[in-house]
Structure formats: structure tokens, C-alpha cells
């Protein structure tokens, strides 16, 4: 047997170690170690509940908006606040901007270089590249100029942002022309994800950490003129999603169809739900709440969550729901046979459970197939429509189970971007109509200062929940289960692997010194 180790994994948010045991070219065991302790739960104690919104969003520099919304919802739940309609729509737009920024950033800048080789793109025939772009329905670029820039990088021996990869690994199988198209869109995506951030700045005051989604609703009171600025930017981002992100996904997928045969993981999926409808019922959100085992969905609540620490660097009690949970850190050394991670083994209904875009799209797909209306408008491409059309395009129509794989996880995130881009235009128009129709309320004050509550929401990379207790106007309990807590969970008390660990088992490993397949799986979760 041999060991494949990636430490640290780059192109993620945080510090992560991956260790795999490889036998006969296949991973037979795996350990995922979260090596960064943050301890925000301790920082928040004895503070005003209004402060939690600002502090807890610092947990993540990529999904601060989702953390701030979950924190605000926890305070609202504790203090009995129902946000008004204006607050709902503004929060949806702010969250949508973050989702589109994150999904574009993730695919092109964090994950694509696991499949796309800018070095191979140097071999591209420029005329053939234009022909391929037209055939694939993807947006053209000045491919000749980009090839010239890449050549200059290669000739001076400094590959800049394209250095430090496994370019000689046999897993890079795209034709040079497709590599050049994807590299061109990689560069354009740097600008487009910034456009999404401009929407965040308009609504939230700045990026990355928002100032306006305070408990009770929002402090941003839009005008029709501001919404016009927002709509223009959403339309520009949506155009890129429709003419680059989705066509690129469909163009690359046929070359890596083997990625539908591994990387699926535990097959259990959680979504707290995200993007509120006017009912404010989590099971009715545009991406609804639910727990799926395989292709069967059922209801779920935050009370179904437990955390185990037998293999984590904590001395907290094990098996607790976060409303009673503790964060008492105790580092004892890295030992895969004992304790090896700052991640807790979070479980839903006592099962190892995946969260993230694949989980959300699976839950939404099953809810929609079961009769739920998730459309939001006639022009909105719903999860079921997007998934079914993609399966048909790939020649696997009627086989949604193929989603539970590495390729399914990659595709689901990009399809979700298309759904969110459609919805964003609907919400802008709804807010414009509401402003023109009369008085719109954006914030609601609390009537009490004490209580306990939970805000369960979805960040771009997965499910996020904040549990909060307030006594005497101060926080006396705070626990967070972040998206990555689900993703990188270590083994639990029964020795059951976490979702990423289980996804790695059974995956091929052609070269233990360059474990590209395992890097692809890790990046597919965006930990």
C-alpha cells in the first residue's frame, strides 16, 4: 500500500490536509483533517445579539453574507421577529449576488484547473477554436491574443497564476481548443465575479462583509434607480452564466464521464433551504428545506443535528445537538487512529450527510418532482428542468442517480447558478413593483430582549446554522455548524467516515505523488 497526501490543499477557503491509503491504484481509506481552529462561538459569548450579525460573518471571507443571514435569523427566531416583505426581497437579492459570485469563482478559479490545462492550450489551432466555440454554443473571445499571452508566460518560464499544477498528469484529456476556450473564460470570469460583488456593495455597503442585513430585515432601502443599477449587473452576470458557465460545463463533461462512476460519497443530503418566498416557510423556499436519502426526500429540522468529537481536537461532550453543544478545544496531535481534525463529526438523523449545491439541487429536484412549485416565474429554469435537460444533453436521460458522483457535484453547482440568475431578475422586478405600488416595509423591531433560537440557511458551499441563546440582553450560548463542518466531518463514534472521506474511497489514483483525482473530489466540495 501507498499513501497519497495533499497538505495543504490550495484553492480552498481554509487549511485542509488530505490523506489517502492507496492499493492497486484505488483509494481504500481516507482521512480529511481541518487544521484551522476559529472558535467564533467563544468570541460571541457575553456580547449583544446585534453584534453576532457582524462578528459571525467573519467565519468565512467567501460566504459572509450567508453567515450573517443565518445569524440574523437566529436572533429573529430568539426574539420573535418576522421580517417584512421588503426585507425578504432585499435579502434574496443580496444572497443571489453572493451565490453567483461564489459559483463563478469556484468553477473557473478554484476547480477548473483540475480539468483544464492552459499549457495544453498552447497547441490549439485558433480557427478550430472559434469553430468549437460556435458548435458548443459558448461565448467567443480573442483566442489568438490569449494564446499569445499564454505563450509569453511559457517562454519566460514563469507561468504566473497557472504554475504549480499537475500538468503532465494523464487525467488532463481535453483537446487544446477546449482548453483555450476555458482558459479565456477563466480570465473573463475574474471580471464577471467582480460585477456580482458590485451588487453586494450596492446593497450591503461593501464586500465582502455586509453591513445591512441586520436582525429584523435590512437597513438598505432601495430606490427604483438603485434597483436599475442592480438589474443591469444581474443581467450581465446572467449572460455570462448562460453563454460561458453552462456551455463550458456541457462541453467539458463528455471528456470526463468516468467522473460519474466515483466520488459520490454517502448518498445522504441536507438542505436547510435558501431564498425565501413570501410565506417564510423553510420547506417552501425557492431551494427548499429537506433531507434526502438517495432519491427519497423527507422533512428535517435543526433538532435532527448531532455532533461527535471522538476523532476531533475537542474535550467537549459528544453526541450533542448544537443548542446544547460546547466548543472546548484540546489539541492532542495528528493521529488518524485517534484524533486528527478540528472538524466535528456532524450528523443529520444520525447519518453522515453531505451539504452543498448537489444536496440543494437533489432536494429541490425531488420536491419539484413531488409537486412543489419552485418556479418563481414563467421564464425561470427550475432545478428539475435544468437537471433533466442536462442529463438529456449528456445522453443519460432519465438517470438522475448519476448526479451522486464527482461530475454530478460539479454540474449541480453550475446548474444552480443558472436557476439563481433567473430568480434574481424576478426579485428585482417584484421589488420595483412593490416600491411603485405603495409603502414597503424593510425592517421590524423586536418586542423582547431574551430567548433562544436558530437560523438555518444555505451558503453557496453548503448548509449553515447558527444556534443562539440570549439572556439579560446578552448572548449566553452560541454554536455554529458551518457548511465545511458537514463536508470535512471526520469519523464519528461508530467510525463512520464523513462525506468527503467517503467520496474519496473507491476513487482511482493513477499517481500517488500527483493525486489529481483526489484533488478534484476535494475541490468539488469547495471546503
Sketch the domain layout of the chain as residue ranges: 1-35+505-527, 38-80+265-398+445-496, 82-166+175-263+405-443
Work out the pLDDT band at 231, boundaries 50, 70, 90: very high
Average pLDDT over residues 502-508: 98
Beta strand spans in 243-365 (E): 268-271, 290-293, 296-298, 305-308, 345-348
pLDDT in tens, 381-420: 999 999 999 999 999 999 999 999 999 999 999 999 999 9
Best CATH choice for the domain 38-80+265-398+445-496 from the list 3.90.1150.10, 1.10.645.10, 3.40.50.1820, 3.30.1370.60 = 1.10.645.10
Which one, of 245, 249, 247, lies nearest residue 237 by Cα? 245
DSSP string, 134-145: HHHT-----HHH
Residue 62 pLDDT: 84
Tell me which residue of 437, 498, 453, 62 sits closest to 308, measured CA to CA: 498
Binning pLDDT at 50, 70 and 90, where does residue 374 land?
A: confident
Q: Domain spanning 82-166+175-263+405-443 has what CATH number?
A: 1.10.645.10
Q: Do 38-80+265-398+445-496 and 82-166+175-263+405-443 agree at the fold level?
A: yes
61 pLDDT band (50/70/90 cuts)?
confident
Q: How far apart are CA 287 and CA 272, in angstroms?
A: 9
What is the band of 372 on the pLDDT scale with cuts at 50, 70, 90? confident
Least confident of 128-137, 156-165, 178-187, 323-332: 156-165
Question: For residue 411, which phi and psi values (nearest 5 degrees)?
Answer: -65, -40
DSSP 61-108: SSSHHHHHHHHHHHHHHHHT----HHHHHHHHHHHHHHHHHHHHIIII
Question: Of 362, 354, 359, 352, which is closest to residue 386 (Cα–Cα)?
Answer: 362
Residue 237 pLDDT level (bands cut at 50, 70, 90) = very high
Kindly state the average pLDDT of the residues 23-43.
95
pLDDT over threshold 80, residue 361: yes
For the residues 432-458, what does the mean pLDDT come to? 94
Has this prediction a pTM greater than 0.85? yes
Lowest mean pLDDT among 159-173, 198-212, 270-284: 159-173
Mean pLDDT of 215-236: 96
Q: Which residue has the higher pLDDT, 149 or 131?
A: 131
Instruction: Give the pLDDT of residue 375.
Output: 75
| Contacts for 512 with CB less than 8 Å, ≥ 6 apart | 2, 3, 4, 22
Q: How far apart are CA 463 and CA 192, in angstroms?
A: 25
Cα 416 versus chain centre, distance: 10
Q: pLDDT averaged over the chain?
A: 95
Confidence (pLDDT) at 203: 97
Which tens digit of pLDDT belongs to each residue from 299-330? 999 999 999 999 999 999 999 999 999 999 99
| Whether residue 161 has pLDDT greater than 80 | no
Amino acid at each position: 500500500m501507498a499513501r497519497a497526501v495533499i497538505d495543504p490543499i490550495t484553492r480552498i477557503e481554509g487549511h485542509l490536509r488530505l490523506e489517502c491509503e492507496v492499493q492497486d491504484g484505488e483509494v481504500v481509506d481516507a482521512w480529511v483533517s481541518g487544521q484551522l481552529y476559529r472558535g467564533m462561538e467563544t468570541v460571541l459569548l457575553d456580547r449583544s445579539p446585534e453584534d453576532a450579525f457582524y462578528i459571525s460573518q467573519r467565519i468565512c471571507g467567501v460566504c459572509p453574507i450567508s453567515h450573517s443571514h443565518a445569524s440574523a435569523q437566529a436572533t429573529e427566531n430568539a426574539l420573535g421577529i418576522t421580517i417584512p416583505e421588503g426585507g425578504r426581497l432585499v435579502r434574496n437579492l443580496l444572497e443571489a449576488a453572493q451565490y453567483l459570485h461564489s459559483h463563478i469563482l469556484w468553477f473557473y478559479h478554484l476547480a477548473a484547473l483540475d480539468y483544464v490545462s492552459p499549457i495544453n492550450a498552447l497547441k490549439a489551432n485558433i480557427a478550430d477554436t472559434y469553430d468549437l466555440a460556435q458548435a458548443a454554443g459558448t461565448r467567443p473571445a480573442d483566442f489568438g491574443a490569449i494564446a499569445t499571452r499564454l505563450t509569453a508566460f511559457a517562454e519566460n518560464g514563469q507561468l504566473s497564476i497557472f504554475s504549480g499544477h499537475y500538468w503532465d498528469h494523464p487525467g488532463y484529456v481535453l483537446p487544446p481548443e477546449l482548453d483555450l476556450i476555458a482558459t479565456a473564460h477563466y480570465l473573463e470570469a475574474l471580471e464577471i465575479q467582480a460585477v456580482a460583488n458590485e451588487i453586494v456593495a450596492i446593497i450591503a455597503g461593501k464586500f465582502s462583509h455586509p453591513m445591512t442585513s441586520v436582525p429584523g430585515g435590512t437597513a438598505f432601502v432601495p430606490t427604483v434607480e438603485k434597483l436599475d443599477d442592480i438589474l443591469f449587473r444581474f443581467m450581465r452576470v446572467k449572460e455570462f452564466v448562460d453563454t460561458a458557465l453552462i456551455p463550458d460545463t456541457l462541453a467539458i463533461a463528455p471528456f470526463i464521464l468516468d467522473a460519474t462512476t466515483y466520488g459520490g460519497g454517502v448518498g445522504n443530503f441536507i438542505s436547510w433551504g435558501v431564498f425565501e418566498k413570501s410565506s417564510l416557510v423553510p420547506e417552501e423556499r425557492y431551494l427548499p428545506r429537506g433531507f434526502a436519502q438517495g432519491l427519497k426526500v423527507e422533512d428535517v429540522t435543526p433538532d435532527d443535528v448531532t455532533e461527535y468529537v471522538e476523532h476531533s481536537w475537542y474535550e467537549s461532550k459528544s453526541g450533542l445537538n448544537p443548542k446544547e453543544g460546547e466548543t472546548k478545544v484540546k489539541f492532542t496531535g495528528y493521529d488518524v487512529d485517534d484524533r486528527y481534525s478540528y472538524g466535528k463529526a456532524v450528523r443529520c438523523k444520525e447519518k453522515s450527510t453531505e451539504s452543498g449545491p448537489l444536496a440543494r439541487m437533489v432536494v429541490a429536484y425531488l420536491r419539484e418532482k413531488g409537486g412543489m412549485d419552485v418556479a418563481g416565474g414563467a421564464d425561470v429554469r427550475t432545478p428539475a428542468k435544468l437537471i433533466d435537460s442536462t442529463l438529456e444533453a449528456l445522453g443519460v436521460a432519465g438517470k438522475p442517480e448519476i448526479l451522486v458522483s464527482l461530475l454530478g457535484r460539479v454540474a449541480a453547482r453550475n446548474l444552480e447558478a443558472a436557476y439563481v440568475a433567473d430568480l434574481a431578475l424576478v426579485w428585482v422586478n417584484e421589488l420595483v413593483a412593490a416600491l411603485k405600488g405603495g409603502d414597503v416595509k424593510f425592517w421590524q423591531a423586536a418586542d423582547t430582549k431574551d430567548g433562544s433560537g436558530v437560523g438555518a440557511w444555505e451558503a453557496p458551499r453548503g448548509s449553515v446554522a447558527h444556534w443562539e441563546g440570549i439572556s439579560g440582553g446578552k448572548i449566553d450560548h452560541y454554536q455554529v455548524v458551518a457548511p465545511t463542518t458537514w463536508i470535512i466531518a471526520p469519523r464519528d463514534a461508530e467510525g463512520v467516515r464523513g462525506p468527503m472521506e467517503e467520496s474519496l474511497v473507491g476513487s482511482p489514483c493513477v499517481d500517488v505523488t500527483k493525486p489529481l483525482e483526489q484533488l478534484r473530489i476535494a475541490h468539488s466540495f469547495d471546503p
